[in-house]
Amino acid sequence: MTVEANKQTLGFQTEVKHLLHLMIHSLYSNKEIFLRELISNASDAADKLRFEALANDSLYAGDSELKIRVDFDETQKTITISDNGIGMTRAEVQDHIGTIAKSGTKQFFERLTGDQAKDSELIGQFGVGFYSAFIVADKVTLTTRKAGETEAVRWESAGEGDYTIESVDKPGRGTEIVLHMKDGEEEFLNSWRLRTIIKKFSDHISLPIIMSKEVPAEKDDEGNETSPASLEDETVNSASALWTQSKDSISAEEYNEFYKHVAHDFQDPLTHAHSRVEGTNEYSLLLYVPSRAPFDMWDRDAKHGVKLYIKKIFITDDAEQLMPRFLRFVRGVIDADSLPLNVSREILQQSKQISAIKTGAVKKVLGMLEDLAENDAEKYQTFWEQFGNVIKEGPIEDHKNKDRVAKLLRFASTHTDDKTQSVSLDDYISRMKEGQEKIYYVTADSFAAAKNSPHLEIFRKKGIEVLLLSDRIDEWLVSSLTDYDDKHLQSIAKGDLDLDKFDSEEEKQHQEEVSKDFEAVLKQIQDVLTDKVSEVRVSHRLTDSPACLVTGVYDMSLNMERIMKEAGQSLNMMGMGGSKPIFEINPDHAIVKALKNEQDDARFADISQILFDQAILSEGGQLDNPSAFVHKLNGLLQSLLV
C-alpha cells in the first residue's frame, strides 16, 4: 500500500464539532491555555512511557531522557510542541483525537444552553484538552509514533467538519503537534511570550521543557567574529516535581497552577493539603479540592482523580484504592517511596501499604475540609454546594470515619427556613432546648415540601429546631447516621414524639379529655379507611392542619417509599414496605370538630377520605386515584354552594 493510498478523510463525531465551536467562541479571553493543555498531554505521555518501560526497557530504544520541546517559526507562523513520550497508534489517534470517549458526553452537551457565558462555565467543567489547539490555530498537524512500533501516522485538521489521517515516516517515537497559527495570533510567535506562559503554567511539571535560545556571535576587541551566532537548547521550566519540594518554597500560585495541570481544570482549586509521611511506609501527598464539580461526578465509571506515583514515577490514575468513593472529587498526587516499582494492579489491590496510605490520605482530606469549615465559611459553603451530596455518602460508606464526616455535614433547617444547607449538627445541638434529647429531622422530596410539612407544626409552635432534608441521598444518610454525639436522629414523621415533656399541665389535661371525647370518631374513621391505615389516633403534632400521616418507628418513611417506587423497586419483593401508615387527626381543627358531629354517614366517609388524601398531598405524595379525590371534593363544594 502506498502512503497516498493510506490517506483517509474522516468526519468528526458530532460532539467534537460542538466542543470545537463552543471552545473557540468561549475561551478567546483565555487563549494561552492551549499551551498548558498540550504540555500536560505530552507530560502524561512521558509518564505512560516511563511506566510501560518499567516492564520493558527496550521501549526507550536508547532514548530514555524524556522531554518536551516547544519551537516556533515566525515566517511559517507555526508553533511546534513535541515529546518523546509513548506516542499513539493509528487506531489510538482515531479513538482519542477524532472522538470524545468520555462517558456522559452526550448528557453534557444536552445541558448547553447557547448562552455563551454560561456555556463557557460548563466547558471548564468538561475540560478542553487537545482541542484547545484550535483556539489559536486554523490548522493542526499531529504526527505520532507509538513506542515500540515502526509505523507513524499523521493527523491533520482545520477544526471544522473533518480530519485526514495517513501513514508517514517519523524518525523517533512520540508526538509532534504543529499549530498553524490563525491570523491575529502572531503574539504567540515570540520567544519571550512562550517562555512566560510555560513558566506560569508548567514550571512545576517534572519533565524538562526545552526551547532554543539564540546565542549571539562572539567578537574579539577588533570586532571580528570569533564564533558565529548559534542556537542552544535551554530548559525553560524548573522541571522538578512540585510535591517533592518543601512547602515554604512553594507559592500559592504554583500550587494553583500545578492543580490545573493534574486536574485538567482551569479554575483555581478551593484548597489543598501537602504533606510528607516518614517512617517505614514513606509517602508524600499533594491533594486538592476543586472549586467546581466535574460534569461526570455522578457517573459510576468516571475515573478517580488521584494519581499514584512511586518514587516520582507515574503508576496509575485509576487508583480507586487511594480514595473512597465519597471523596471522589479530590484531585492530586500521592507518591509512595516504599513500594516496589514493579507493582501490578493485583499487587496494588492487596497491598497493606496502599491501604495504610489510603487511611492516611482520607484523614488528610478530612482535616483539610475541617480547616476550611473552621477558617473560611464562604469557601466551605461553595464546597458544600458542589460536593455536599457526595460527602453525604461518607457515613454510609466509611463507618470508621462516620463521626468525623458527620461533623462536616450541613443541612437546611427551620432555624433559617432557607434552602441553603448551612446548619451543622453541632450548630443544631448548641441550640437544643433544655430537656431535648434528640436531633429532629423531616424528609421530603423537595425543600418546599419539607419546609411546609404538617409534621413541623408542633415543632414550630414549641420553638424546637428541625432539619429539613430533601436530597435523595438523605434517606440513606439518616438510615446510616442514626446517632451523633450520643443523640438520636429522629424523624418527626415516625412513631411517637416525646414532646409532652414540653407541654404545660393545662395542655396535658386538654389532650386527655380530647382523647376520650374522640374515641368513637376515631373508630368510625378507622372503619372508613380500614385498608389504608393501621390506626387512627388523636395527633399531638398538628396546630394548623386537620390531619397527617405517621409511620412506625421501624417502618420505611413515606418519602423513602416514594423514592423506591419511582426507582421501580418492588417493595414487597424486598420484604419492606406494605405496612400501612398511622392516620392522625387534629381535634382542635374546625373541620375535624365538624366531622365529629356529622350525622350523614356518606358525608362522614367522604370527608374522612378527603382528609386522608390531603394528608398525602401535603407531604408531597401522590394519590393513587386523584380523580376520585377531585370528585369527592367537588361533591362537597356543590352541597355548600348550590
Report the nearest approach of ligand ADP to the CB of residue 115 (Å): 25
Contact between 252 and 225 (Cβ < 8 Å): no
| Region near ligand ADP per CB under 6 A, out of 83-91, 311-319, 381-389, 416-424 | 83-91
**Buried b / exposed e across 190-215, counting CB within 10 Å, b at 16+?**
ebeebbebbeebbbbbbbbbbbeeee
Residue 480: CA atoms inside 13 Å, Cβ hemisphere, count? 18
Q: Smallest gap, in angstroms, from Cβ of residue 159 to ligand ADP?
A: 13
What are the grid coordinates assigned to 92, written together?
489510538
Number of C-beta neighbours around residue 574 at 10 A: 11
Asked if residue 96 binds ligand ADP (CB under 6 A), the reply is yes
Q: Which of 59, 88, 336, 533 binds ligand ADP (CB under 6 A)?
A: 88
Long-range contacts of 590-597 (CB under 8 A, 24+ apart): 591/546, 592/546, 592/547, 595/521, 596/518, 596/521
Q: Nearest approach, Cβ of 288 to ligand ADP (angstroms)?
A: 17
Q: Which stretch binds ligand ADP (CB under 6 A): 85-93, 247-255, 336-344, 543-551?
A: 85-93
DSSP character for 424?
-
Task: Please give the residue whose beta carbon sits closest to ligand ADP in the complex.
Answer: 129
Q: Is 544 exposed, middle or buried (0-12, 13-18, 19+ CB in 10 A)?
A: exposed
Among 45, 137, 147, 357, binds ligand ADP (CB under 6 A): 45
Out of 18, 24, 109, 127, point to the residue binding ligand ADP (CB under 6 A): 127
> Among residues 69 and 589, whose Cβ is nearest to ligand ADP?
69
The reply to whether 83 sits near ligand ADP by the rule CB under 6 A is yes
Nearer to ligand ADP, 97 or 467 (CB): 97
Q: 161 is written with which cell numbers?
A: 467538519
Cα dihedral 379, 384, 387, 390, rounded to 10, equals 150
Q: Give the range of 80-88, 112-120, 391-399, 491-499 binding ligand ADP by CB under 6 A.
A: 80-88
H-helix or E-strand containing 260? helix 252-263
Q: How far apart are CA 423 and CA 467, in angstroms?
A: 8
Instruction: Match 511539571 to its residue by C-alpha cell.
Output: 205
- Distance from the Cα of residue 623 to its chain's centroid: 35
177 closest CA partner among 287, 57, 27, 41:
41
Rounded-to-integer distance, Cα 316 and Cα 308, Å: 5
User: Rule CB under 6 A: is residue 175 a binding residue for ligand ADP?
Assistant: yes
User: Which residue number, 96 or 438, has a Cβ lying nearer to ligand ADP?
Assistant: 96
Which residue of 15, 54, 104, 130 would you call a contact of ligand ADP, by CB under 6 A?
Answer: 130
Neighbours of 539 (CB within 10 A): 26
* Region from 81-89, 229-237, 400-408, 487-495 binding ligand ADP, contact rule CB under 6 A: 81-89
Please identify, using beta-carbon distances, which residue of 78 and 480 lies nearer to ligand ADP.
78
Which CB, 145 or 274, lies closer to ligand ADP? 145
Segment contacting ligand ADP by CB under 6 A, of 7-15, 127-135, 423-431, 511-519? 127-135
Binding status of residue 33 toward ligand ADP by CB under 6 A: no
Span near ligand ADP by CB under 6 A; candidates 84-92, 111-119, 375-383, 396-404 = 84-92
- How far apart are CB 161 and ligand ADP at their closest, in Å? 18
**Of 177 and 361, which has the nearer Cβ to ligand ADP?**
177
Query: Which positions lie near ligand ADP, rule CB under 6 A?
Result: 41-42, 45, 83, 85-88, 96-97, 127, 129-130, 175, 264
